[in-house]
Structure 1
Amino acid sequence: MRVALVSPYSWTYPGGVTRHIEALRAELDRAGHDVRVFAPFDHDRRKTAWMHRGARPQARPVPEWLTPLGATIGWPSNGAVSNVSGSPSAVSKLRRELRAGGFDVIHLHEPVAPVAGWDTLTSADAPLVGTFHCYSESVAPHKVAALLGARRKLNRLNVSIAVSEAAAWTGRRFYGGRYRIIPNGVVLPEGGVPWPRVRRAGEPLRVVFVGQAVERKGLPVLLRAFEALRGQIPAELTVIGLTPEELAPLLVEGEGVTALGRVDDVVKAAVLRDADVLCAPSLGGESFGMVLTEAFAAGTPVVASDIAGYRDVVTAGVDGVLVPRADATALAETLRDLALDPKRVQTLARGAAVSAERYAWPRVAEQVVGAYEDAQVVPAVEGGRVARAAVKVGATPRDGRPRVPAQRLPSLEPAPERRRGAALRRGAIGLAGLATVAGAVAAVEHIGPARIGDALVRSSPPWVLFGVALMCASMLLRAVSWHAILKAALPGARPKLADAVQGTNIGVLMSATLPARLGEPSRALIVSRRLGRARDRLPVVLGTIVSQTLINVLALVILGAVMFSTIGLFDGKQRALLWYAVAPFALLLVVLVAPALIRSRRPARSRWVAQARSAVARVRSGLVVFKRPREGFVAISMQLGAWALQWVSCYVLLVALGLEHRADLGAAAAILFAVNVTAVLPVTPSNVGVFQAACMAVLVGAYGVAPAQALGYGIILQAVEVVTALVMGAPALVKEGLSWREVRLRAMHSAPVSLSVPAPKKPEPVEA
């Protein structure tokens, strides 16, 4: 049989689909079939790395059975990066080759992915087989594909294959159709799966991770779990797929962690054989997980996230253990329990060896060949030319069976109550963001773009630059304040001013470019790494941020006092200032006394109570600065000085727009107060939209400034803040040797993990 295997993904950025195609081709070739592979191919050039977010392609030869289809572009998709080609030349070349090849079957992998398979669905006349590898619950991309005609195009498939029930769920949910489940295969070692390794007493637990540094793989979750695990038992972690340089930004502590980079299959198999467990902490978006079956083939059990794609492969308690996704504590406790029970690990390893036989490539390839044979049996079309034309264009299914439409299906993911809460939060943020955008558009249309543009053009550049300089200086004063707090809280670590400056600048950049408040954990992580013993330092450093926050509350009280005393809009409401004055002291009192009040004798509550007490204790450690007059004076005076510079900067920008006659220093205080209060829960990066609305509320409502000028002021003030973040933060990232993505990924999983003391094992009964 002459077979064409068509891949939309770059051959030199190999992922699960590419490895599947390569192994399938080899197996079909051994069975005597004539196989040709068509896939994009990227050469290692400067432009290639630029088109793939800095990632360089692997140096792979072009085998005689591969037809390259040109270069690709790296697109973010489903929590990872898809390297696909969108060039017309790739489409035209593939069409020519398929028409001239005389293929009995054309096998499309990810037929919906652009553009190779997508075009072949309607341009090729040979029998078509499509394999769906992806599991995704994201509605938007699939809806777009459906609007572009995906459902009609997929009717042209003679046979549809899914690598798992999760992948079939995606097809049924968004496109309809019938799917036969044929899993990914795995190459078993010659001589069979090796006998489980026996871990001797005192040997460390050997854990392996195989994957990329993309968010959905969940590597930061494993790193946090491993750091806690090493605090109780000897353990080693080997990371395959990342170089030491790529892994370093994600680490708080590197002890016991080894990064091997990208290795060949021989080395990977050897590492898996020597491991006690493979850990796959993915956060979602996995349809199968080929690395799981590769571990089975090495006789190694797995600890994997309890997600849809992995549940299709791992039989919990037989060949592995499933843990809640994104739960670093549960993952660490599971690994610890396995380390303390070597017999259980051996039992799981024997189960893994048995499971590997189900996925052996000869068995999988036999099922694929069966699909090819079924695809070649094309039923006769009844109904004349109209019916044949309907099949030709995909209006009716090519397999001759009744059409199965797309249908709403319940989610495959566990914990629906938690998913509903997460969905509600995302929905609320999304609605708030849409409302912000809609309000901004309505405001611009109401005021008039020309008037807004005129207000911006009339601003004075020297005054704006002076405002930027003041904002930059305020960041430096904040760093000096934080340095004093760090010195008081960590006297043995001897933090340097440069550490605080680096952390502050990077934190400001992250706060300005992300919708979530990731600036605080980002700067805490930077400083913790610089101080050494990062895992021990991080909780205290996070506590020092609370000290700065209390000073910020005091600054807001002062700004509130100025605002209430200068804006006539609030006449008669000055008593509200009492609440602003009392708030920081009430919060300080709660923080100081709460540890003595938190007690619980109920075992069910012991874990969260212990975590709450630990968190409050960390906060208290950060408040030591207020017991030391010298450091406390520096911290308070510098932080308030930073606020004063920002206050002056806000006034300077009023001067830049010629508004100083209408809005004075009191107006600048009110603006600074308003934008900081509304930024407590940002719904967009830098709170765009809400920021401008706060400025307009003050200037228009209290000072009678024209809406166009008020909105122009809000735009310029935010631009100044963003420029300040870039001017201060970008060089700091370069100096630290980090990328924005690395800091973001690390900050999202910054909470340190604390494990409970393991329960003592019950002695086995002794027979009389």
Structure 2
Amino acid sequence: MHVIFVAITPFPKIGGGWTFLTQMSSGMGGRRHTTAVVSPKQMPSAWMTVINRTAQIVRVAFRSWLWFFVRMALVGFAIRRYVSQKRLYEEVDIFDAQDPVAFLAVHRPAQRRNRPTILTIHGYFHHESNMGSIPPNSFWGLLLRRVERLAYSAAPEIVVVDTRLKEYLLRLGTDPKKVHVRRNSVDCAVFAPSDPASKAFERSHFRLHADDHVILCARRLEEKCGVRYAIEAMSLLTKRLPNVVLLIAGSGSLESSLRLLVSSLGIEERVRFLGDIDHGDMPSLLRASDAAVVPSITVGEEVEATSFAALEAMASAVPVVASDIGGLREIMTDDLDGILVPERDSVALASALLRVLGPEGQRLGNAARRTVEASFSLQRGVDETVAFYRLLIDGMPLTRRAGQRLPL
């Protein structure tokens, strides 16, 4: 089986979408299937230069969000042309589009060649495509929703990573019979519990002391990721644990304001901004950590999906404290394999982190590892995905086949 993932996001790019693609490609390769990615980074640089210059001209001339839609449409057209020029329609068995625009770019040409296309949704496209800059109820925000609805209506099958995303699609009028939940998965061989020797080595590598209480917050520095609440919790924790350290792995538009917050709280020596960390280095960072925090918040309709950061920490037997929202509450059970706290509550975060840095941490971490092995392992995720692809390849679309049950 040959699968082509298509996206308007320029992959490779650090984030959950690229993590999904790399893990799925690796897992499918181990089963002798092949995959490829088509995104702006795979297309000729001259094409992208023309697209970006055109968008910039429109931006200057009209001083509105028209440039965003022009660029989005041109990228979609470029994807369609690239796939056609490379004759990828002839060699592919199934297209897996990672966003509505990429789906609209390849669906009809693929349909004419009897090649199935599915749409995989990792988040709220109307927000994540522009980092929430377009007001949702403005003309441009409503137009973006219309693009979403068009793709969701045309897609024969849609995969989402948690039930909240499914509910969002249903609110947009999507046929519930074609929306399937497939939660993210993690490679349990790569993300595994550490032993004392490996923890000591990794701490030396990251210039951490052996007796430090290390908390990892691997999040983008954007509003919905709630990193400010982890920082505020740290200001409370330092009064109880003078050797506690918060490692913030990620970048984003709020970095300057978050650094100012750290400075205003007087905890510069206890908080380290690591910037973007290559996904290949995340297992090492987790081996050096005693706890992980995922302090996501709800922003408008956007809620945290099935978090890779949480799953990878759980697989590494690192106890997780997370906000009790969205997909986070679908992958862990409070006080069983992690701790869930109310969102935007720094005091509750600090209290929960104090618990997991104590005797309860090992119990919760070991239970989290068992949860991932049982329900979120990459092997299970790949097996389910391959079975899903196979059903679509054998007869599309499945929603028209009475009695057919999808393996998701």
- Please tell me the TM-score bracket, short chain as reference: 0.7 to 0.9
The equivalent position to 1:206 in structure 2, one of 214, 217, 224, is 214
Q: Does 1:248 align with 2:265?
A: no
Q: Secondary structure at the match of 1:259?
A: strand
Give the Cα–Cα distance (whole angstroms) in 2 for the partners of residues 343 and 259 of structure 1. Answer: 28
The corresponding residue for 2:363 is 347
Q: Secondary structure at the match of 1:399?
A: helix
The corresponding residue for 1:2 is 2
> Are the equivalent residues in 2 in contact too, given 1:295–1:301 (CA < 8 A)?
yes
Q: Does 1:362 align with 2:360?
A: no
Change (3 A) 1:170 1:370: same
Q: Does 1:264 align with 2:281?
A: no
The equivalent position to 2:104 in structure 1, one of 111, 118, 142, is 118
Give 1 or 2: higher strand fraction: 2
| 1:221-232 paired onto structure 2 within 5 Å | 221-232=229-240
Give the Cα–Cα distance (whole angstroms) in 2 for the partners of residues 195 and 315 of structure 1. Answer: 25
Matched letter for residue 212 of structure 1: R
The corresponding residue for 1:286 is 304
Give the Cα–Cα distance (whole angstroms) in 2 for the partners of residues 279 and 32 of structure 1. Answer: 37
| 1:350-749 paired onto structure 2 within 5 Å | 350-357=366-373, 358-378=375-395, 399-400=399-400
Number of residue pairs matched by the alignment:
345
> Are the equivalent residues in 1 in contact too, given 2:38–2:79 (CA < 8 A)?
no
Q: Secondary structure at the match of 1:3?
A: strand
Write the deviation string for residues 462-487 of structure 1: whole angstroms up to 9, x where unpaired. xxxxxxxxxxxxxxxxxxxxxxxxxx
The corresponding residue for 1:273 is 287
Relative to the length of structure 1, the TM-score reads 0.41
The equivalent position to 2:96 in structure 1, one of 102, 107, 115, is 107
1:91 CA drift (Å): 3.7
Bigger mean CA deviation after superposition, 124-133 or 181-190: 181-190
The corresponding residue for 1:238 is 247
Change (3 A) 1:147 1:337: closer
The equivalent position to 1:171 in structure 2, one of 140, 146, 169, is 169
Give the Cα–Cα distance (whole angstroms) in 2 for the partners of residues 12 and 190 of structure 1. Answer: 20
> Are the equivalent residues in 2 in contact too, given 1:338–1:344 (CA < 8 A)?
yes
Say which structure, 1 or 2, has more relative contact order (CA 8 Å, 6+ apart). Answer: 2
Give the Cα–Cα distance (whole angstroms) in 2 for the partners of residues 174 and 237 of structure 1. Answer: 40
Change (3 A) 1:255 1:20: same
1:176 CA drift (Å): 1.6
Change (3 A) 1:137 1:324: farther
Matched letter for residue 8 of structure 2: P
Give the Cα–Cα distance (whole angstroms) in 2 for the partners of residues 351 and 184 of structure 1. Answer: 18
Write the deviation string for residues 11-51 of structure 1: whole angstroms up to 9, x where unpaired. 1433211221122112112211122211122xxxxxxxxxx
Write the deviation string for residues 301-340 of structure 1: whole angstroms up to 9, x where unpaired. 111111112111122112211111111122122223334x
Change (3 A) 1:175 1:8: farther
1:347 CA drift (Å): 0.6
Structure whose CA Rg is larger: 1
Give the Cα–Cα distance (whole angstroms) in 2 for the partners of residues 296 and 120 of structure 1. Answer: 37
Write the deviation string for residues 369-426 of structure 1: whole angstroms up to 9, x where unpaired. 11111112336xxxxxxxxxxxxxxxxx773269xxxxxxxxxxxxxxxxxxxxxxxx
Give 1 or 2: higher helix fraction: 1
Matched letter for residue 326 of structure 1: R
Write the deviation string for residues 152-187 of structure 1: whole angstroms up to 9, x where unpaired. 543443432111112222222214223222211212
Give the Cα–Cα distance (whole angstroms) in 1 for the partners of residues 150 and 126 of structure 2. Answer: 21
Give the Cα–Cα distance (whole angstroms) in 1 for the partners of residues 327 and 291 of structure 2. Answer: 19
Q: CA RMSD in A?
A: 3.4
Matched letter for residue 300 of structure 1: V
Runs of 5+ unmatched residues, structure 1: 42-61, 75-80, 380-396, 403-768
> Are the equivalent residues in 2 in contact too, given 1:135–1:166 (CA < 8 A)?
no
1:351 CA drift (Å): 0.8
Relative to the length of structure 2, the TM-score reads 0.74
> Are the equivalent residues in 1 in contact too, given 2:193–2:318 (CA < 8 A)?
no
Q: Does 1:187 align with 2:198?
A: no
1:118 CA drift (Å): 2.5
The corresponding residue for 1:307 is 325
Matched letter for residue 362 of structure 2: Q
Runs of 5+ unmatched residues, structure 2: 56-67, 128-135, 201-209, 403-408
Amino-acid identity (%):
22
Change (3 A) 1:258 1:5: same
Give the Cα–Cα distance (whole angstroms) in 1 for the partners of residues 250 and 287 of structure 2. Answer: 17
